[in-house]
Structure 1
Amino acid sequence: MNLDVLANAWDGTTSVGYPLLFGLVLLGSVVPVVPTGLVVGTAAAFAMTTDNLGLPLVLAVATLAALTGDLITFAIARFGGPSAVRWLIRGQHAERVDEVREQFRVHGWQIVVAGRLLPAGRIPVLVAAGALAYPWRRLVPASLLAAFLWALAYALLGVVSGGIFDSPLIAMLVATVLVLAVSAAMNVVSSRRRRVPAAPEPEPCESV
């Protein structure tokens, strides 16, 4: 992600800045080719150091874009057929998707929220929701909460960097480093948790 390009776009009129933020987050939420957390973090850092973007609107736009992307992904998983599902889960481990599906049957909306916040958790959760025909009336509020918490978490990283540095570019650079560091730490924790085998259940004692 080129910070100069983002800075130049956001340094112009708000008629460009907010649609660009929305479009990048939406695109990355459907097709994971854009580091959406990085976009939100740098936008928040830019909003803290200039008057061209407002932090509340950055948070609102990022939340709406993430929610829209998640609902589109869910609709593809539910109505797109087997080929669409295979396209969604490309690069995902099949056992991971099956594991999330079983968890989804028990926890429901909590898994939707957790899937948004955990690395590589969003797609398996939305695919599981689509396969189980999870009701829209339950999915939309859960996805809205998940999108808001996700946008808030990455915006806070931008707020931290923007509160320390006055230069928009330096603040965006520091926000980038913070986002990458947090993402890397979360990936390490998540991978270690997946490698830890579940404790075996104790065998029932036979009566004498």
Structure 2
Amino acid sequence: MDGLMGVVDTAVTSPWFYLVLFAVAAIDGFFPVVPSESMVITAGVYAASGQPELAPVVVLAAAGAFLGDHVSYLVGRRAGGRLVRGARPGTRRHAAFGWARRTMAERGGMILVVARYVPGGRTAVTLTMGAVGYRLRSFSLFAAVAAVSWALYGALLGYVGGVAFEDDPLKGVAVGLGLALGVTGAVEAVRFARRRRGAVDAGPERSEPGLGERRPAARVGPMPGE
């Protein structure tokens, strides 16, 4: 363990760490298996002792996340755009893209900011926003808000752990990661509760039309494209 912490100390306090942090945050935007959040938290822990410095950690992590989100958006714009244009009206895929386009138009900015805190969710959202043609100017604005808030969140979580366990960085990293997992779990719990409540509020569909309502015509066969 002492040998491992020595390697981590050497890596995090190296001047090259800033460049690596930027690259990892960028790659994580379109290849979500890179542990960018863990790296930001670790950097925050060590920033409590002065090296690396907290401000560059936040700036470079945010810049990398902003760049990575735009790479994912452009991939979605190019590849997904062809899928959208190729979806025939009346098919399930066409309906799904229509729903995604309406949802992004109504709440796309909020979804993008929240998804930045959901592992894997950020890439799915940025790809979808590109595929449905979400306006680039609005995307860039909300991507900046998401990236800066995410970088501050991760770095400050680590910084809190570093201050609490200044003589034991490993415990500081554990505290920072634990807090991050706790926040992520709380977000997921809220999302799950809202989905459950929405399903309950919607209620079962009525089997019989009410007074003055027309009974829907029975379908004889499958619709074209199904």
Distance in 2, matches of 1:200 and 1:170, equals 46
Q: Residue 99 and residue 193 in structure 1: after superposition, are their counterparts in 2 closer, same or farther (change >3 A)?
A: farther
- Aligned residue number for residue 38 of structure 1: 38
Name the stretch that deviates more: 107-116 or 183-192: 183-192
Q: Is 1:62–1:151's contact at 8 Å kept on the other side of the alignment?
A: yes
How big is the shift at 1:176? 2.4
- Aligned residue number for residue 73 of structure 1: 72
How big is the shift at 1:82? 7.1
1:35-114 equivalence runs, <5 A? 35-49=35-49, 51-81=50-80, 100-114=100-114
SS class of match (1:108): helix
Establish whether residue 156 from structure 1 lines up as the match of residue 156 from structure 2: yes
Q: Residue 182 and residue 155 in structure 1: after superposition, are their counterparts in 2 closer, same or farther (change >3 A)?
A: same
Establish whether residue 9 from structure 1 lines up as the match of residue 8 from structure 2: no
Name the stretch that deviates more: 190-199 or 121-130: 190-199
Distance in 2, matches of 1:33 and 1:119, equals 9
Q: How many residues align?
A: 194
Amino acid corresponding to residue 190 of structure 1 in structure 2: R
How big is the shift at 1:84? 9.6
Name the stretch that deviates more: 62-71 or 193-202: 193-202
Establish whether residue 21 from structure 1 lines up as the match of residue 16 from structure 2: no
Distance in 2, matches of 1:19 and 1:38, equals 16
Distance in 2, matches of 1:171 and 1:62, equals 19
Distance in 1, matches of 2:8 and 2:134, equals 37
CA deviation vs aligned residue, 1:60-112 (integer Å, no higher than 9, x gap): 01100100110000000001357999xxxxxxxx9998765432121232332
Name the stretch that deviates more: 114-123 or 139-148: 114-123
How big is the shift at 1:205? 7.2
Q: Residue 34 and residue 83 in structure 1: after superposition, are their counterparts in 2 closer, same or farther (change >3 A)?
A: farther
- Aligned residue number for residue 131 of structure 1: 131
TM-score after normalising by structure 2: 0.71
How big is the shift at 1:195? 4.5
- Aligned residue number for residue 145 of structure 2: 145
Gap regions ≥5 residues in structure 1: 86-93
Distance in 1, matches of 2:83 and 2:32, equals 15
SS class of match (1:106): helix
Aligned CA RMSD, in angstroms, stands at 3.2
CA deviation vs aligned residue, 1:177-201 (integer Å, no higher than 9, x gap): 3223333343344344445415227
